[in-house]
Amino acid sequence: MRILGIETSCDETAVAVVEDGTKILSNVVASQVDIHARYGGIVPEVASRQHMLTILPVLKHAMFQAKVSWQDVDAIATTFGPGLSGSLLVGVNVAKASALAQGLPLIGINHLEAHIYANWLEGNQPFFPCLCLIVSGGHSDLVLMSEHGKYQRVGRTRDDAAGEAFDKGARILGLGYPGGPAIEAAAKDAVPSLSLPRAWLRGSDDFSFSGLKTALLHLVQKRGSLDAAWVAEAAASFQQAIIEVLATKAIATAKRLGVRQILLSGGVAANRALGSYFASHCSLPFHIPRPGLCTDNAAMIAACAYYRFQAGVVDDYSLDVVPGLIIS
Ligand code: KG4
Ligand code: ZN
């Protein structure tokens, strides 16, 4: 079964064709990062206009790369939330129009659920029950997954998401946008020797990163002028503080819940230092999709849709965007 997935929830225009929920036939991502970088963050109106310009060429390119025509596609899936409403509308309407024109089933997908399903791509077969750590620009969730489509959110961020913390920290350090890759690059050869706080929130599976960001701001203000060596040390210390909290809490929650595996996903899961930390501190099996499948893409949308479709879930043309959608 081949599913065409569409993803336009934020600033990536993406279309992919995936076979049987795991084999990627094509995975095209047109990033708007250069357009938004000059503003230091995503401008929603600019994002939706850019999706409108890019979506049809990206869709054609994905079908061309997968060597499929509409006759070879069995269903069309699209993210309907969470995300920016103007951006989501582009993908949802292109999916609806294509489904109607081609007489194909339409499947609306929760973007957070799709991040988890990046773990099923390229032949990987996770075990249930598993604990999913979704760490993206807008979310930091710990989700217990007992079987396909069955979730219980056990933890979330109480303020900034981990990716948001990376983006804000990078701005404070003058490292540009997007912050995660910029901090990771700056931190590469530096020692995390600066003292920064960790919000453990003991007794809770929630996260909090806004205090860490404020502490970094205070360090920078105290320092006055910034030289490259100090910025690298600060980037490494800031990254280490985020990683330690994410990994320590996820591992402790996984052990307490008695799951068989931890699945990481979302843009922050692309961070190699986070992967190394898990490798040296996690005694449970864990899986991280390769970096290009952690950040926003449409292959994960198609993978998730495969399991929903198998369970008999399809949508009708009343499918609408839900910008504040959660996973629960
Ligand atoms: O999942 P994603 O691509 O989009 C959302 O659904 O939000 O995540 C984007 C977030 C951004 O905040 C970005 O700074 C962060 O993921 N990110 C990283 C890395 N690559 C992307 N954070 C840390 N290290 C990275 N290598
Ligand atoms: Zn995402």
d(C-alpha 215, C-alpha 84), whole Å = 29
Residue 275: pLDDT above 90? yes
- Asked whether this chain's domains 2-118+293-310 and 128-288 adopt the same fold, the reply is yes
Domain boundaries, the chain: 2-118+293-310, 128-288
What pLDDT, on the 0 to 100 scale, is given for residue 125? 97
Residue 143: pLDDT above 90? yes
Distance from the first to the final alpha carbon of the chain? 28
Which residues share a beta bridge with 115? none
Q: Which CATH number fits domain 128-288: 3.40.640.10, 3.30.420.40, 3.40.50.620, 3.40.50.150?
A: 3.30.420.40
pLDDT digits (tens, 9 = 90+) for 79-106: 999 999 999 999 999 999 999 999 999 9
Mean pLDDT, all residues of the chain: 97
Protein residues near ligand 2, an ion, with CB under 5 A: 136, 296
What pLDDT, on the 0 to 100 scale, is given for residue 66? 98
Note the pTM of the prediction, 2 decimals: 0.97
What pLDDT, on the 0 to 100 scale, is given for residue 328? 84
Cβ(7) – ligand 1 distance below 6 Å: no
CATH of domain 2-118+293-310: 3.30.420.40
pLDDT digits (tens, 9 = 90+) for 295-319: 999 999 999 999 999 999 999 999 9
Q: Which two tokens stand for residue 41?
A: 């963050």
Q: What backbone torsions phi and psi does residue 224 show, to the nearest 5 degrees?
A: 80, -100
**Closest Cα to atom 14, ligand 1: which residue?**
180
Cβ(180) – ligand 1 distance below 6 Å: yes
What pLDDT, on the 0 to 100 scale, is given for residue 38? 87
What pLDDT, on the 0 to 100 scale, is given for residue 27? 98
Average pLDDT over residues 224-247: 97
Ligand nearest to the CA of 37: 1
Helix, strand or coil, per DSSP, at residue 323 = coil
What pLDDT, on the 0 to 100 scale, is given for residue 24? 99
d(C-alpha 328, C-alpha 148), whole Å = 13
Q: Which two tokens stand for residue 75?
A: 């269903």
pLDDT digits (tens, 9 = 90+) for 23-73: 999 999 999 989 998 888 889 999 999 999 999 999 999 999 999 999 999
